[in-house]
Amino acid sequence: MTLIKSISGIRGTIGGKTGDNLTPLDTVKFAAAYGSWLKKETGKKELKVVVGRDARISGRMIQELTMNTLTGLGIDVIDLGLSTTPTVEVAVPIEKADGGIVLTASHNPKQWNALKLLNNKGEFLDGDAGAEILKIADTEGFDFAEVDDLGKITTIDNYIDRHIKEVLELRLVDADKVAKTKLKVVVDAVNSTGGIAIPALLEKMGVEVIELYCEPNGHFPHNPEPLKEHLKDICELVKKEKADFGIVVDPDVDRLAFIDENGEMFGEEYTLVACADYVLSKTPGNTVSNLSSSRALRDITQKHNGNYEASAVGEVNVVQLMKDNKAVIGGEGNGGIIYPESHYGRDSLVGTALFLTYLAEKGKKVSEIRNEYPSYFMSKNKIQLTPDLDVDGVLKAVEKRHLNEEISTVDGVKIDFPENWVHLRKSNTEPIIRIYTEAKSQQEADDLAQKMIKEIEAIIA
C-alpha cells in the first residue's frame, strides 16, 4: 500500500495506516493544507473552491472529507459530484472560484485515489505552489474557522452538460456535419464518469452509441489505463457491431484512445497527432508535447509550416511551454489533448469532438486516416539502480558520450538521432532510470533501448 506526496497532489491506496496510505486522516490533512495555502496566497476572507470526482468506490468518502475540511476552514465549496477532470477545470473560471480539487487517481486501479489541485484558472498548480502545500501539510499549521464563519456547500449537478455545450460551441467542432455521416461508435468508459460524458456528447453530435462499461459504479472491468493489452473487449465489439470506430477513456476522462473499424489500436500517441493535423489545417500555428511523446507530432506540425517544441514531462510543463510558444494545440502522447480555445487542460471531450469533425470532413475510414501518418514505434523500459548511486552523474556521462547528436537536458537527457531517439529520465520516487525510445520499427526501438541499457550498465560498472 502506498502514499505518494508530490508537488502535483497527493495520491495513494485506500485503507491501512495513516501516513502510509490515503486514509481519512491523510485526506483531511492535505485538503486542509491546500485550503490554508489558498487563504495565505489570496489574502481573501471569502474563498470558493470547486470539487468533483470520478466514479471510484472511495470517491464519495474522499469527497465528503475534502469538502467538509474546506468548509471547516471557512471556504465555500461548489460540489460537482460525479464529474471529469476537464469538467472541473472548465468550471473553476466559470464559477469565478479561487481553486479546484479533482478527486481521481486517473489511470490507477480502483484501490487508488488522489487529490489533484487546481489554481483559479482551472489549471494544475506549479511546482512552487505544490511544494508550499506539502510544507504546510508537514507542519500542520492549520487555523480552522469559528462556528459563525464556516463555509457552505452548493451542489451543481449539470456541469457535464454545460461542459458538453462549451465543446459543441468551439469553432472547429461541427456537430451538424458529423450527424450527416451517421457514424456508429463503441465507447469503453471503464465504468467511470466517461460513461456519463462521452455518450452524451456523441448523442448531441448525432452519433449512434454502443456503450461498453459505461455504468459509473467504480468497478473497473479491466486495468483502467487505455493500453492495447487492456482493451480486448472493445476491439472485439467494434468488429462484431461493424462500428466505425471505438473510443476509450480513462476514469477521469483526460486520456483518449481510438480503436479503428478493424478492431485495431489507432495508437494513443496518434490521438494528438490526428487532432493536431485537423486543427493546424484550419488554424496554422505551433504545437507542443513532452519529450517522451512521438516524433510524429513534429512531422505533422512541420507539414503545416508550424514550429514544434518539446517540454519536460508533466502537464503543467506542457501547458507553460504552450503559452510561451503560443501553441494552437498540444498535449501528451498518452492521449491527452490540450486545446487552448477551450482551456489549458487535457480533455477527452474536446479531443473526441475535434476527431469526429475531422473524420466527417475527410470522409475516410479511421484506419485510412491512421495510414496517412508516419509510423513510429515506441519502447518503454527502466533500469534498476542502487539507492546510493549518483543518477545525475550517470545521465551526465551518457550526455558526454553523445555530444555530436542533438541533445536536450530539459528533463533528464534526450538524444535525437537522425532516425530515432532515446529519452532517459530519473524517477522522483524510486532509484530507477526510465528509458523511452522511438524508431521506425518495433525491433529498432527495442534494440535501441537495450543498447542504452548496456551503455548505462557500462558507466555504472
Taking a C-beta distance cutoff of 8 angstroms, is the pair 124, 30 a contact?
no
pLDDT at 385 over 70: yes
pLDDT at 3 over 90: no
Identify the domain boundary among 91, 122, 157. Answer: 157
Q: Any idea which residue has 495520491 for its cell?
A: 11
Query: 7 or 139: which carries more pLDDT confidence?
Result: 139
192 is catalytic: no
What CATH number corresponds to the domain at position 431?
3.30.310.50
Taking a C-beta distance cutoff of 8 angstroms, is the pair 185, 244 a contact?
yes
Number of folded domains in the chain? 3
pLDDT-derived band at 431, boundaries 50, 70, 90: confident
What is the pLDDT averaged over residues 436-458? 95
Identify the domain boundary among 123, 157, 191. Answer: 157
Among 58, 83, 106, 292, the active-site one is 106
Is-above-0.85 flag for pTM?
Answer: yes
Residue 358 grid cell: 475531422
pLDDT, tens digit, 9 for 90 and up, residues 47-105: 999 999 999 999 999 999 999 999 999 999 999 999 999 999 999 999 999 999 999 99
pLDDT given for residue 140 in this prediction: 84
In angstroms, the CA 12 to CA 3 distance is: 4
Taking a C-beta distance cutoff of 8 angstroms, is the pair 391, 385 a contact?
yes
Radius of gyration of the chain (CA): 22
pLDDT, tens digit, 9 for 90 and up, residues 345-357: 999 999 999 999 9
Answer yes or no: do 299 and 439 share one domain. Answer: no
Encode burial over 123-161: b for 16+ CB neighbours within 10 A, e otherwise: bbbeeebbebbbebbeeeebeeeeeeeebeeeeeeebbe
What CATH number corresponds to the domain at position 169?
3.40.120.10
C-alpha dihedral, 121 to 127 to 133 to 136, nearest 10°: -150
Worst-scoring range by mean pLDDT, 97-111, 139-153, 376-390? Answer: 376-390
pLDDT, tens digit, 9 for 90 and up, residues 15-54: 999 999 999 999 999 999 999 999 999 999 999 999 999 9
Q: Any idea which residue has 461498453 for its cell?
A: 212
pLDDT at 14 over 70: yes
pLDDT, tens digit, 9 for 90 and up, residues 228-267: 899 999 999 999 999 999 999 999 999 999 999 999 999 9
Mean pLDDT of the chain: 95
* Domain that includes residue 424, residue range: 377-460
Cβ neighbours of residue 224 under 8 Å, at least 6 residues apart? Answer: 107, 108, 109, 110, 190, 192, 230, 250, 251
Residue type, 344: Y
